[in-house]
Structure 1
Amino acid sequence: MTRRGPVVAGLMLSTALAAMDATIVATAVPAIVRDLGAFSLFPWVIAVYMLAQAVCTPIYGGLADVYGRKPMLLVGAATFLAGSLLAGVAWSMPVLIVARAVQGIGAGAILPITQTIAGDLYPLAQRGRISALMSTVWGGSALLGPALGGLLSEFGLWRWVFLLNLPIGVAALAMVTVFLRESVERRPHRLDLFGTALLAAGVVTVMIGLQETVWWLIAPGLALLAAFLRWERHAAEPVVPPWVWRDRMLLGSFLGSALVGVVLIAPALYLPTYAQGVLGVGAVAAGFALATQSIGWPLAAGLADRLYLRYGFRATALAGMVLVVVSAVMFTLLGPASPLVYAGLCAFVNGAGLGLVSVSCLVGAQSVVGWERRGVVTGGVVFFRSAGSAVGTAVFAAVASLSLLSSGSVGSVDDVAAALDGPGAQAARSALAFAVHHVFLAMTVVVVLGVPAVLVMPRRGRPLSETLSKADPETVSEGGEDGGRTRADR
């Protein structure tokens, strides 16, 4: 019998592991670059992690439906910890990038499978609350992450940004190993390696073309992605099953999750650097400015279940999009004379909007499937969010690079980091402010164009109980005290 309490505690620690790593690195940028150099390569420290995570997420999701959630989570977490150890001892930027790729391969299992297990443990009416709880853990960890990253950086201990993952990860592995019980009916399985290769090649090619402004690479990258979609229609066990595109709830959830990923990454990458390089605050204060995003997220996520139970998933997601649009406009008004409190307020509003959108997309997608497909669907939601962040990283890096170079104040992107502490500091700060302003303008354009994505989600025209009885009868029939039993317990 699975014991919910200890398992949820293990899931919370696993979520904390991913959340801490997603935010703690941003405030360590200056310290890492001082030691390892190659500032122009640093966006790949973020991008390769997200790329590896995005590519591996649907694979783990499918395997979790075949072999069970527990073994896939354990494999992913162990791989993540191995990457963390390598990142902690990295002696050059290329080695750090490789280590982050290993971390990303492991992280591809952590978030989707923890969310899938939570969906198994609780019925649909309670999934919003458990998702909010996980978001609270994410927010708390992400709140601690930037501050801790800044503190470690100021003392020259940036390597512990990665090494701190080890004790947290070991504790999470222990709880899941001991307390989660599964009994899975095994069936023959064929891993779609060719589809995975097409997906990875397409995304990598597009990202290189965007980030390095090698425009001619974008067309072959898109061709590879088109070939991937065509292949998936005939693959025995596709990475992304074709049936997901025929359901409006799933399609809207995937598009909304991709938008969340894109919008999430711009402040995460550039707000701490802006706060330190332009506003002139320390790394710890810059970390707290970003951390307000992680406060707004769980607060809004905690309200999401009340909203979608009463008004539906689409209305809740649209409410979140309104907040995201407001925050994007606020970010564009951020200037060199702005107080740090204003930067934190921008991030808070952004986090609140993303919290509503993300919970609506996740729980909405899970509501239309049963146990046998919940791993694939949850993996799809996380995949599109990770892919959005990976592509967003490349797009915003290209915008920042072109803006810096066009400012005429610096010879190259690498010159900015050095110039901030030298005689040309004022010109470098102006160039950095110019570049980040253009990043936030690009973010605003993406947000406005992305609003129609959530409109794809169906409008609920009947009571939610009737929708659930048709969409997820397995969950509805198990309401009350036994509603959270996993398949293993039935």
Structure 2
Amino acid sequence: MDLVEKLEATGGIWSPNYLPVTLANLTIVAIAAFDGLALVAALPSIADDLGGVALLPWVITAYLATSAVAGIMAGPIIDAVGVRRTFRATGVWFLFASAAAAAAPNMELLVAARALQGIGGGLVISVALTAVGLAYPQRLRARAFAANSMVWGTLGFGGPVITAGLLAVAGWRMIFVIQLPITALALAAGWRTLPSTRNKPQRIVMDGRGIALIVGLVAASLFAVAQVGVRWPLAAVGAAAAIAFGRAFWTNSGRTDGPLVSRIHITRFPLKRIHLTAGLVLIAGLAADNYLPLYMQTTRGRSESFAAFSVLFLTVGWSSAAFLVSRLLERWRETDAILLGSILMIPAVIWAGVGVALTWPIPVIFGAFYVMGAAIGFVSTAGLTLLQASADDSEMGRVNSAHQFIRTIGITYGVAVGGAILLFVVGHRIGDVEVVRDVLGGEDVVASGPTLDAIRDGLVWVLVFSGVAALGCLAAAMALWRNTRGLPLPVVGPGDGVSADAEPLSN
């Protein structure tokens, strides 16, 4: 073994061999993390400056919608032209879209700029995930994902503080302005260091019908979510339309040459189980976590700032577990870590539900959400590592994009169902859900005692739903664990980290 091979076999993600791509990848993640965590706090300031309050939710929604569509479109693009070329175009796109958002003179143009920015954001996330699978050997991928999670966790704590400072000194536009040097830094770091599977780019073939159906699926889903608790019949129509678009997309994927997402990238073992466990564990954790600030601000009488920080305990638990998994996978199988996280989620949800129902001390409830985040960290990080170990370089973009899309849809529906349950309980108990919507919209309102009790009970029932999702995740994780139990542990060596005689995963 020569010196280069020894370095590849023993170096970590911060070693000279991998340091450039590590810095590039983490800077890419920082772009998406800062945008997602900083802008929510600035929405009231944007509304005060630009008006157009009716369009304010679309500042976030437009980004999420185009990001979801772009994320799944990224797979064929990356596999055709490579990570490096995709990132160069994406970084430049995101740079100009951020500048357009910073300069937007009215709410309509800001929403349009955010839609353009979402295209870049969706591609950026897919580039970051795929780069891990192509740039690092298998033994380092979990550590790379852990580093990505640490960036999210750090910005989770620092993002609101940075946002508050920017709003106080320079206004909401500075949130977009500050993204310009971050994006430029990411471009400089990744321009030549990110991996590429294509010395010569191939022709990008896009499934137009598949794209149209995905757009319909996302639009119908967002419409259904927007009508939850407002107009239930329309919410049902939106959900039915989303299901119809989803079925049509699945049919199209089986009949079209070069589909946007091939069925084998969803159903092939172990990809199917990885997609399922990741989607369900995110539903279990985030369905309740998104409404924890509402509970803290109303039932527990805490300030809006305190309530906003309550969501960080799940994020910190997620980041902590991701770091731990990156070490455990030196001796464990990925399926062992996935199973552990799935088991851990069940007592954590029960702990949170009992704590909310019995009004336990707030730190105890935060502890439950920290453990819920840790469960997500185990399942998500180990699942991504196994996903990339099960994919060939030539399909890495499409496999990662499919997984990211499933996670996004899982989160969207989880949060929507959680909100529907909470609003249903409150509406059933007091006959009015306007207080809940006002608080969620940032209004300073005083709720009556019965309303506070109804919000508490609503969150308890959301946690019951989380428990059902956690049980589904555990069932899928057990099936995955059983089907891989008899396979030998991979032997880490130079190259891709798997010995030549290790058996491939098969059903």
1:51 paired to 2:59: no
487, 491, 494: which is aligned to 1:462? 487
Change (3 A) 1:66 1:354: same
Q: More relative contact order in 1 or in 2 (CA 8 Å, sep 6+)? A: 1
Q: Distance in 1 between matches of 2:72 and 2:143?
A: 24
Alignment of 1:447-486 (within 5 A): 447-457=470-480, 458-465=483-490, 476=498
Q: Distance in 2 between matches of 1:236 and 1:419?
A: 48
Contact 1:143 1:294 in 2 (8 A): no
- CA shift for structure 1 position 72: 1.5
- CA shift for structure 1 position 12: 0.5
1:10 paired to 2:24: yes
In structure 2, the residue matched to 1:137 is: 151
In structure 2, the residue matched to 1:375 is: 397
In structure 2, the residue matched to 1:398 is: 420
1:388 paired to 2:410: yes
In structure 2, the residue matched to 1:204 is: 219
Contact 1:261 1:386 in 2 (8 A): no
Alignment of 1:44-443 (within 5 A): 46-88=60-102, 97-149=111-163, 157-180=171-194, 182=196, 184-212=199-227, 213=232, 214=234, 215-266=236-287, 269-332=290-353, 333-334=355-356, 339-406=361-428, 407-411=430-434, 414-416=437-439, 421-422=444-445, 429=452, 432-443=455-466
Contact 2:24 2:194 in 1 (8 A): no
Q: Distance in 2 between matches of 1:345 and 1:275?
A: 14
Deviations 1:32-66 (A, max 9, x none): 67777898976665554333322222221221111
When structure 1 is superposed on structure 2, of 352-361 and 208-217 the one drifting more is 208-217
Q: Distance in 1 between matches of 2:139 and 2:450?
A: 55
Same amino acid, percent of matched pairs? 28
Deviations 1:54-102 (A, max 9, x none): 2222221221111010122233334444444455566777665544433
Deviations 1:242-276 (A, max 9, x none): 22244221111111232244345435532334333
When structure 1 is superposed on structure 2, of 145-154 and 13-22 the one drifting more is 145-154
In structure 1, the residue matched to 2:10 is: none
User: What amino acid sits opposite 2:239 in the alignment?
Assistant: I
Change (3 A) 1:455 1:38: farther
- CA shift for structure 1 position 9: 0.8
Change (3 A) 1:271 1:92: farther
In structure 2, the residue matched to 1:487 is: none
User: What amino acid sits opposite 1:198 in the alignment?
Assistant: L
User: What amino acid sits opposite 1:115 in the alignment?
Assistant: L
User: What amino acid sits opposite 2:364 in the alignment?
Assistant: Y
Change (3 A) 1:42 1:259: farther
1:445 paired to 2:462: no
TM-score scaled by structure 2?
0.80
In structure 1, the residue matched to 2:504 is: none
User: What amino acid sits opposite 2:81 in the alignment?
Assistant: Y
Deviations 1:310-339 (A, max 9, x none): 342222112112222233233333269554
Which ranges of structure 1 fall in alignment gaps of 5 or more residues? 479-490
Contact 2:426 2:432 in 1 (8 A): yes
Which ranges of structure 2 fall in alignment gaps of 5 or more residues? 5-15, 501-507
User: What amino acid sits opposite 2:400 in the alignment?
Assistant: T
TM-score scaled by structure 1?
0.83
Q: Distance in 1 between matches of 2:246 and 2:124?
A: 25
Q: Distance in 2 between matches of 1:42 and 1:448?
A: 37
Root-mean-square deviation (Å)? 3.7
Contact 2:145 2:381 in 1 (8 A): yes
User: What amino acid sits opposite 1:22 in the alignment?
Assistant: G
- CA shift for structure 1 position 356: 0.7
Change (3 A) 1:162 1:169: same
When structure 1 is superposed on structure 2, of 197-206 and 400-409 the one drifting more is 400-409
Contact 2:325 2:381 in 1 (8 A): yes
